[in-house]
Structure 1
Amino acid sequence: MTMTIYGATLSPFVRKTVVFATEKGLDFEVVPVGGGLAPPPEFLQSSPFRKIPGLKHGEFTISDSTAIVTYMDALQPEPNLIPTEAQARARTIWFEEFGDTLVAACGGKIVFNRLVSPRFLGKPGDLAAADEAQRTEFPKLMDYLETVIPASGYLVDDRFTLADIAVASPLATLAHADCFVDAGAHPKTAAYLEKILARPSFAGPLAQEKAFLKATEPA
């Protein structure tokens, strides 16, 4: 039975669920929601507060990316993307929360002001606030990543897990808003991100996002 994921992968949370589902080999489709589109009634059933992503699978509906990937992982245990060993599982959830911190600390200021507000809401963003967040807040978060990325190039268990998806996804969205990891200041983090985003599960959505942004670029 095909799953329906509601949202747009420009959202780091929607992209997280799409990458997770792809890595799991699940059968799914993405129904666009956001960007001024009128949401279908089925989306409102899955997400009563209109937050993306939403999920519909048969009669089952749920929202929130963490809830969705938890459901997917239980439904399709292999490949195992949320470790079951206690410490590895805890670290994975920690890095998922770190990804949320990236969104909260930088995404709202940088992505909203540089991309969402001017491109999709037709309102000028606060570019000074975006610049300040990139100058002062973003580097501190990258400083932390630079100290914890293992030699294997994966955050947990020396293999690809939800931790990598959850951290790389908001960094990919920030890059759409011209906020990049500085390879000079954070070489391990830059190499790590390049490796994770090169995976087909990420590369496909990112190519579509870049094409969409180019096609909708203001004249």
Structure 2
Amino acid sequence: MLELYQFELSHYCEKVRLILDYKGLSYRKIEITPGIGQLDIFRMSGQRQVPVLKDGNEVIADSTEIALYLDRKYPDRPLIPTDTKERAQCFILEQWADESVGINARKLLINAVGQDSTFLTSALPSGTPGFLRSLVQSVPREAIEVVGFGAGASPDAVKTARKEMHRSLESLSNILRDQPYLVGDQLTLADLAVAAMTMYVKFPVGTYLELPAAIKGKGSAELINDPMLQPFWDWRDRIYADFRKAPLTAASSAASSSSGGPTSINID
């Protein structure tokens, strides 16, 4: 079975989960705990970031490389258009989603963490002891803001990210008023990338992600509640309803990761 080394709250891992579900491929999630230890992932893939996909003896890092590998190895329900123009549009939109939408969404999430400690504790691994969760929740807002500055999420940067995100979602809404998908009439990698990269702007409602119910449907309120952006959110809800599968039960997930337990790495 395919093995996805992942971090549940990572939107790049969510992109791969959407791809795997769309293609109908069974896979086992192996949760990676953020931290300084990275030996297992580094030994396996030569780098420290997730997602990493293991398919037998094949090990693939990076969400885009994983997508291209899966399309070659498992060609049913293709992600990449065969038409030259549509193929180019797909790759441009996918790269834009990763490098613009995804980065701005991360800044908005860091800001949300400073406003609501629920987001911070939700990012902890499921096996984190209660006392440690309480300790994290008690971190002063000022300390979180300092971390935000270091991560490029100063108040000015967040303001710019929100403005750019609104412009992006408005443009996507306009595209999606007249067509079902971003590149023509068929779903492509571009659709799944955009859907995943906006996860931090509004966490999907439902059982798709193994996250506390308290943060589902939450995110950047100004962008969630703007009527101008509703076509985009309706479209993303449809992408999830049509293609994303519910995760394994907690018991199944625990069993699937018991072969080695969580590994501690840096999430860059």
TM-score, normalised to structure 1's length?
0.79
CA distance in 2, matches of 1:45, 1:10: 23
2:6/2:51 contact within 8 Å kept: yes
Deviations 1:191-218 (A, max 9, x none): 22222122341x525x99xxxxxxxxxx
How many residue pairs get aligned? The number is: 203
SS in structure 1 at match of 2:171: helix
Look up the match of 2:83: 85
> What is the CA-CA distance between 1:80 and the residue it aligns to?
1.4
In structure 2, relative to structure 1, the CA distance for the partners of 1:40 and 1:55 (3 Å cut) is farther
Deviations 1:126-176 (A, max 9, x none): 473575245422211112212322523211231222111000111123214
2:202/2:219 contact within 8 Å kept: yes
> What is the CA-CA distance between 1:39 and the residue it aligns to?
4.9
In structure 2, relative to structure 1, the CA distance for the partners of 1:75 and 1:112 (3 Å cut) is same
Look up the match of 1:24: 23
SS in structure 2 at match of 1:124: helix
- Establish whether residue 185 from structure 1 lines up as the match of residue 228 from structure 2: yes
Look up the match of 1:198: 241
1:3/1:28 contact within 8 Å kept: yes
- Establish whether residue 128 from structure 1 lines up as the match of residue 168 from structure 2: no
Matches within 5 A, 1:54-133: 54-100=52-98, 101-104=100-103, 106-115=104-113, 118-119=120-121, 120=123, 122=136, 123-125=143-145, 126=148, 128-129=155-156, 132-133=159-160
> What is the CA-CA distance between 1:111 and the residue it aligns to?
1.6
TM-score, normalised to structure 2's length?
0.66
> What is the CA-CA distance between 1:83 and the residue it aligns to?
1.2
CA distance in 2, matches of 1:70, 1:9: 22
Look up the match of 1:148: 175
Structure 2 unpaired stretches of 5+: 125-135, 137-142, 149-153, 204-217, 251-268
Deviations 1:166-193 (A, max 9, x none): 0011112321461244441223222222
2:182/2:191 contact within 8 Å kept: yes
In structure 2, relative to structure 1, the CA distance for the partners of 1:195 and 1:185 (3 Å cut) is same
More helix as a share of residues? 1
Deviations 1:56-98 (A, max 9, x none): 1111112000000100000011111211211111111112112
> What is the CA-CA distance between 1:118 and the residue it aligns to?
4.1
Indicate the RMSD between aligned Cα atoms, in angstroms. 2.9
CA distance in 1, matches of 2:159, 2:236: 23
Opposite residue 171 of structure 2, the aligned amino acid is: Y
Larger Rg: 1 or 2?
2
Opposite residue 200 of structure 2, the aligned amino acid is: T
CA distance in 2, matches of 1:37, 1:84: 42
- Establish whether residue 138 from structure 1 lines up as the match of residue 138 from structure 2: no
2:108/2:162 contact within 8 Å kept: no
1:118/1:124 contact within 8 Å kept: no
Structure 1 unpaired stretches of 5+: 209-219
In structure 2, relative to structure 1, the CA distance for the partners of 1:130 and 1:195 (3 Å cut) is farther
Look up the match of 1:53: 51
Look up the match of 2:210: none
Opposite residue 219 of structure 2, the aligned amino acid is: D
